[in-house]
Structure 1
């Protein structure tokens, strides 16, 4: 709460009530007290904002009940119409409905909102004065007058919907960041650690019993690398949980990566427009050669991405070689 806001709210409330007294000097308590209550409540909400959000439901409900009671008493002995007092109360309820539907909990919106719209619609009967409209004429007039309250409620609900969409967009952006982080972990570290473990295992096979000291060091390298991969796999699983995996770059050698990139550029420039086919093969290690542990996210990510683009993807042994094949339509 700031002093300037309190001053603004007080001056605004005083100006609104003063205008009503100037236009309609004869103050009638039964008819005009709900308007005074509504103006003061709205001014208090403005002065205490945003703390006033917590009390929106009860205070809007109190204004709606006050309006209904005031109109009900007036209808028992209808005299002069509400005039500017009823018009100001209509405007107050319109603003309060907008605030309610924008900031209050759904429970308060569903319970207080309809009552406030009904109270606002009935003000037309008091506004027109005696004799009071009846029958279909009264029903039509109330429906028409309720448009002000419905506009206020609709404005608040629209702004609330924008908040929901904005929150969803932020959550989606965070999920994408986590997915990209997981892919970056895979690209930047997983292959190197896998190669380290694989080489340590291969060295152990070659060394046999000839170098116990080196064997012990290699054992420690293998164990450390395996633990690092297991820890990274857990981290990536958490980051990617429930997310579509971003395709990650598979080439392990920079020269191969550049050749593939240049070939794709040439295909884009000089291709026949019938799509792109990419085949990469490499020899399989001997059966006795141990395989390093992997994260198993690279190929599955590529398969998902290629399938989503309308293409086909396969990866697996082909005789004594490992073949990765991708076909994309034009």
Structure 2
């Protein structure tokens, strides 16, 4: 599931880049033509061709910036510097003109946003030096230099702001992942403690049985073996995530046996929920889930209900459904709130509208995905098809029941 989400994210990103470049290309194509027309009207003769040619060159460089942002910015600044000096010596209209100023702003903003700090600072300083040069060489046409100075200031500010915003988001995601791994480490302790306690208790019972009913010792030893196997399997699943950040085939393998039962806190969680009325359905009987599976199911329901209370205030009802077959547990939490643009921004994110991103929230769902990855499960979230509301759906493999 995560792999397909990554493919969708990259596809959306590539489409956005293509649309952005197409829009820039259209602007870059029209601006030099318009500037040349105005220069031809005001200056007459062939004064328009130099500014048009120089602006077009820098615009083309700006469109090709993604290949190497540092070299593209350096090339654009070099062409602009040469154009400023040539225009001064040849008594041509002052540079950089509007087309060149726009292209240089794109190059500067792109470099400040994406390049390492030293290179980004060098590009910004080069743009500032060009602004000073433009002022010094076009005293009679200060408006041209002011135009470029404002464009440089806007580009540097926008690039820096975007850079800091992306850094903040990355830091937030890393902090969430780190905190979730710490929680998983604590749960690892709980899982091991549970199974080890079971081993200790069954060992004590075996000692008593050995004295009173020696023929039942094999049954006790089989229970001890199963509890020990469950402890190892649970530890490997969680340690696999903590060590590598993604479950390995061995760590994701289901436990050979399950010795604990369903976490009845789900019913209590639903009863304590203060939002819309909740209809919930759980598997009948005692399915015998391992503690790490029961805890994950509980956390999924808890986080999904929290999202409903925060982001779906107009929901009329919520349904919580947990189903189980021979080898899979499925959890779905769905509400019927009507769609709203603000809600989409808060609950939307990467992956074509899933809640897995961090735009305006969704950190709890990142933690849910971490938990499910540790158990070899998957998570999806988004609008319900052909009806109002949103739904969280999670599936995870169920450990084998045999002993």
What TM-score results when the alignment is normalised by the length of structure 1? 0.54
1:22 and 2:24 aligned: no
Q: Find the aligned partners of 1:107 and 1:62 in 2 and give their Cα distance.
A: 17
CA contact (8 A) 1:121 1:143 kept: no
Alignment of 1:289-300 (within 5 A): none
CA contact (8 A) 2:54 2:79 kept: yes
Deviations 1:139-193 (A, max 9, x none): xx98997454243112101101101111122222233444444555665x55653
Q: Find the aligned partners of 2:147 and 2:30 in 1 and give their Cα distance.
A: 28
1:70 and 2:83 aligned: yes
Number of residue pairs matched by the alignment: 227
Alignment of 1:239-254 (within 5 A): none
Aligned match of 2:27: 12
**1:37 CA displacement:** 1.5
Alignment of 1:1-330 (within 5 A): 8-25=23-40, 26-27=46-47, 33-42=53-62, 44-45=63-64, 52-75=65-88, 77=89, 79-82=91-94, 86-106=97-117, 108-129=119-140, 146=149, 148-183=151-186, 189-190=191-192, 192-233=194-235, 235-236=237-238
Pair 8,205 (structure 1): closer, same or farther in 2 beyond 3 Å: closer
Deviations 1:212-261 (A, max 9, x none): 442233233223323433454455566668xxxxxxxxxxxxxxx9xxxx
Q: Find the aligned partners of 1:10 and 1:239 in 2 and give their Cα distance.
A: 45
CA contact (8 A) 1:124 1:142 kept: yes
Pair 222,237 (structure 1): closer, same or farther in 2 beyond 3 Å: same
**1:11 CA displacement:** 3.8
Gaps of 5+ in 2: 1-13, 41-45, 244-264, 266-403
Q: Specify the SS of the correspondent of 1:24.
A: helix
Q: Find the aligned partners of 2:102 and 2:240 in 1 and give their Cα distance.
A: 52
Instruction: Give 1 or 2: higher helix fraction.
Output: 1
| Larger gyration radius, structure 1 or structure 2 | 1
